[in-house]
Amino acid sequence: MSLDSLPRLGLGTYSDDNREQWRENVSTALDVGFRHVDTAQVYENEQYVGRGIRDSDVDRDDLWLSTKTVHHDVPPEPEQVPDAIDGCLDRLGVDAVDLLYVHWPSGIYSHEEVLPAFEAAYEEGKTRHIGLSNFTPELLDEAREFLDAPIFAHQVEMHPLLPQEELVEYAQEHDHWLVAYSPLGKGAALEAPEVQDVAEKHDAMPAQVSLAWVLSHDNVAAIPKASSREHMEQNLAAQDLELDDEDIERIDAIDRRHREIDADHGPWNW
């Protein structure tokens, strides 16, 4: 399993409304230079993401495409998981995705009933890799017992106000990716004085500093959401921002914690 194949900066595509925008947004992101796009069944935009990919000049083989299914309330029954996986592929208009995640370990989820369907999709070539999302270390340990295929990635919220030290260490120990969603904390991380001071030092945007800090961790990738070309270009440029040890230590020392996605069904609330 080569971790080198995943582009470390991708495009997140969640929005509460105007889901049609992701057709143009994805096409623009690929034109700007993104080669990693992340979506999910519950986002209700997979068909637009797929159209955006087809609208672009980027070959499918040159693009990393991830999606997620098994939300806490979608689909309603474990036996429908294979159909849910096929539905993701149909809406995206692809034969396979590069990475298929279990979206939440709650609702209808159980290791015994859900993970075999993901293993079957992997064996049938419908996904090149299996991922999990919003798990705890204990749940990751349990899931590993029900999978012969390796866990390629674990997707969770991560940013300077939610550094996820334990899960980062877990990813490094077990050699999989931690993919950070909401890597700007939906803007909350950008308001931290420490982030703003580092941004001023480097003549950079606070968003770029937050992304650079996330990417400074081994085995960590990020999928910031952006809908304008300008923000997409700024986010990509964060890969070239080199924070020094003092910058990283300053951000690491932030003692405020903020979780943007704090659903009742999140396992950290059980």
Which tens digit of pLDDT belongs to each residue from 101-123?
Answer: 999 999 999 999 999 999 999 99
Average pLDDT score over the chain? 97
DSSP codes, the chain: --GGGS-SB-EE---SS-TTHHHHHHHHHHHHT--EEE--GGGT-HHHHHHHHHHSSS-GGG-EEEEEE-BTTBSSSGGGHHHHHHHHHHHHT-S-BSEEEE--SSTT--HHHHHHHHHHHHHTTSBS-EEEES--HHHHHHHHTT-SSPEEEEEEE-BTTB--HHHHHHHHHHT-EEEEESTTGGGGGGG-HHHHHHHHHHT--HHHHHHHHHHTSTTEEE--B--SHHHHHHHHHGGG----HHHHHHHHT------S---TTSGGG-
Q: Please say if 43 is a catalytic residue.
A: yes
Residues 161-188 have pLDDT tens digits of 999 999 999 999 999 999 999 999 999 9
**Model confidence, pTM:** 0.98
Catalytic: which of 14, 43, 101, 109?
Answer: 43
Instruction: Render pLDDT for 183-224 as a digit per residue (tens, 0 to 9).
Output: 999 999 999 999 999 999 999 999 999 999 999 999 999 999
Could you report the per-residue pLDDT of 219-261, keeping only the tens digit for each? 999 999 999 999 999 999 999 999 999 999 999 999 999 999 9
Give the pLDDT band of residue 142 (cuts 50, 70, 90): very high
